[in-house]
Amino acid sequence: MRMVDVIQKKRDGEALSKEEIEFFVDGYTDGSIRDYQASAFLMATYFSDMNAEEQGYLTMAMANSGDQIDLSAIEGIKVDKHSTGGVGDTTTLILAPLVAACGVPVAKMSGRGLGHTGGTLDKLEAIEGFHVEITEKEFVKQVNDLKLAVIGQSGNLTPADKKLYALRDVTATVDSIPLIASSIMSKKIAAGADAIVLDVKTGDGAFMKTPEDAEELARSMVAIGNEVGRHTIAVISDMSQPLGFAIGNALEVKEAIETLKGTGPDDLTELCLVLGSKMLIAGGKAKDTNDARSQLKRVIEDGSALELFGQFLQAQGGNADIVKNPDLLPNAAFQIEVKSTTTGFITKMEADEIGVAAMLLGAGRATKEDDIDLAVGIVLKKKIGDSVKSGETLAIVHSNQPEIVKTESMLLKHIHISQHKPKRPKLIHKILD
């Protein structure tokens, strides 16, 4: 087989065979196919698209390109959740103990994040002593015992995706739906998921700005999952404003604890109930949405989800006392109120810009080498649709610097206030199952 023929076929809009796609992925991973041909292939795919079968082949070829986690020693259906990323998204920290308390095994592999705040792993590391450097054997045992464990990302998971993602970044081929969908799904499959619940975000703070684009991406991922025999469900949810109130690592752990107690923000709680229901159904633990929601609400009300969160932290070396006393988490030196200069209604909260404001405080990384400050961030006091008076607090900035002029001006600029009461954004746009 010659790569030039594969490129030409894709350029001319023809569908590629499994062998052709494997030839490309294997050759690019081992270096026998070079960047210039891979770049041409990516651009051809960008313009010519791929059908569901091709996307399935690409996904599996990338999933098979490196290590795969074998979770077969874990009893039950392993359901993973993936979010396409947003601002202040604390759902994983809540969902993991929530569905585990209902009996669905959660075997989570987690990495550090680039972006407004850290990834789930960074957030967990805000808890003193907590670590994810456990062996695969310990990981499996803990999931069987407790139903919940988190392990750090293996060094050689989906190397083909790593290489291709870096190449896409510099060849203007990141925003191609078949390439995004196969990239995300390959990682979930290599990490051992039997079933996958996708939270595809849409809005200002998301990768996919419109619900139509988000739905197209979601449909592709659901089709890939079904094509390769992994039950996949997608929820398209709002990211036109930050999720919940807290943006920042320790601040989001506190918000997760509040939500597990039943006293969290409405939007975050509802999204966790929607995603959690799909996870319980996919995991074979609930017969329908009503059954799932009542189980999830029960483990919140009776305290068992929070208790399990504490047991999980303790099992991985973390200080479980934070569950009862969240003030033990890192605290910033200064908590400074940002006050509204006008009276009216919140009409818009530019999630991405508010995320950047949190990142500039030190809550997130711009490059892989950056350190993050686990204590800092922003706690919103208002959401879209709320009324506000001049002089009233819009947000509290948690900073390790006394001076927050830049953060304050960003917040005042990107939280829009007008005289007309707007409609609150719809939290769930669509569910594909």
List 10, 78, 82, 278, catalytic entry: 82
Taking the complex as a whole, the smallest distance from the CB of residue 149 to ligand URA amounts, in Å, to 22
Provide CB contacts within 8 A for 95, sequence distance 6+.
81, 272, 275, 276, 279
Taking the complex as a whole, the smallest distance from the CB of residue 252 to Ca ion amounts, in Å, to 5
Taking the complex as a whole, the smallest distance from the CB of residue 426 to ligand URA amounts, in Å, to 24
At position 381, the amino acid (one-letter code) is K
Is 184 an interacting residue with respect to ligand URA (CB under 6 A)?
yes
Indicate which of ligand URA, Ca ion, none lies near residue 184 (CB less than 5 to 8 Å, by partner kind): ligand URA
Q: Are the CB atoms for 374 and 126 separated by under 8 Å?
A: yes
174: helix, strand or coil: coil
Cβ distance to ligand URA smaller for residue 183 or 340: 183
In the region spanning residues 141 to 180, those forming contacts with ligand URA, defined by CB under 6 A, are 165, 179-180
CA dist., res. 241 & res. 205, Å (int): 7
Q: Is 386 known to be catalytic?
A: no
Taking the complex as a whole, the smallest distance from the CB of residue 408 to ligand URA amounts, in Å, to 32
Is 189 an interacting residue with respect to ligand URA (CB under 6 A)?
no
Q: Is 182 known to be catalytic?
A: no
Pairing of strands 148-152, 344-349: unpaired
Count of residues of this chain found to bind ligand URA when the rule CB under 6 A is applied:
5
Q: Is 183 known to be catalytic?
A: yes
Q: Which of 95, 147, 92, 146 is nearest to 123 (CA)?
A: 92
Indicate which of ligand URA, Ca ion, none lies near residue 69 (CB less than 5 to 8 Å, by partner kind): none
Distances (CA, A) of 114 to 94, 363, 414: 21, 10, 22
Taking the complex as a whole, the smallest distance from the CB of residue 247 to ligand URA amounts, in Å, to 20
Is 45 an interacting residue with respect to ligand URA (CB under 6 A)?
no
Q: Which of 243, 227, 195 is nearest to 349 (CA)?
A: 243
CA dist., res. 88 & res. 247, Å (int): 4
Cβ distance to ligand URA smaller for residue 102 or 157: 157
Q: Is 381 known to be catalytic?
A: no
CA dist., res. 77 & res. 429, Å (int): 27
List 108, 123, 163, 168, catalytic entry: 168
Taking the complex as a whole, the smallest distance from the CB of residue 231 to ligand URA amounts, in Å, to 20
Distances (CA, A) of 195 to 24, 42, 161, 198, 259: 27, 28, 20, 10, 25
What do you get for the CA distance between the two ends of the chain, in Å?
A: 38
What's the half-sphere exposure (Cβ side, CA atoms, 13 Å) at 64? 12
Backbone angles phi, psi at 281, to 5 degrees: -70, -45
Q: Which residue has the tokens 């939290």?
A: 427
Position of minimal CB gap to ligand URA: 183
Indicate which of ligand URA, Ca ion, none lies near residue 310 (CB less than 5 to 8 Å, by partner kind): none
Indicate which of Ca ion, ligand URA, none lies near residue 246 (CB less than 5 to 8 Å, by partner kind): Ca ion
Distances (CA, A) of 147 to 46, 79, 194, 294, 296: 41, 12, 15, 20, 15
List 80, 161, 238, 352, catalytic entry: 161
Beta bridge partners of 393: 339
Taking the complex as a whole, the smallest distance from the CB of residue 179 to ligand URA amounts, in Å, to 6
Is 246 an interacting residue with respect to Ca ion (CB under 5 A)?
yes
Indicate which of Ca ion, ligand URA, none lies near residue 88 (CB less than 5 to 8 Å, by partner kind): Ca ion
Q: Which residue has the tokens 């990834």?
A: 119
Cβ distance to ligand URA smaller for residue 110 or 183: 183
Cβ distance to ligand URA smaller for residue 117 or 269: 117
Is 237 an interacting residue with respect to ligand URA (CB under 6 A)?
no
Taking the complex as a whole, the smallest distance from the CB of residue 235 to Ca ion amounts, in Å, to 17
Query: In the stretch 89-118, what mask flags binding to Ca ion with x, by CB under 5 A?
Result: -x----------------------------
Q: Is 424 known to be catalytic?
A: no
Cβ distance to Ca ion smaller for residue 132 or 351: 351
List 176, 183, 237, 240, catalytic entry: 183
* Angle value at C-alpha 110, between 205 and 349, nearest 5 degrees: 15
Longest Cα–Cα distance in the chain: 70
Is 88 an interacting residue with respect to Ca ion (CB under 5 A)?
yes
So which residues are the catalytic ones?
82, 161, 168, 183, 187
Residues that bind Ca ion (CB under 5 A): 88, 90, 244, 246
Residues that bind ligand URA (CB under 6 A): 165, 179-180, 183-184
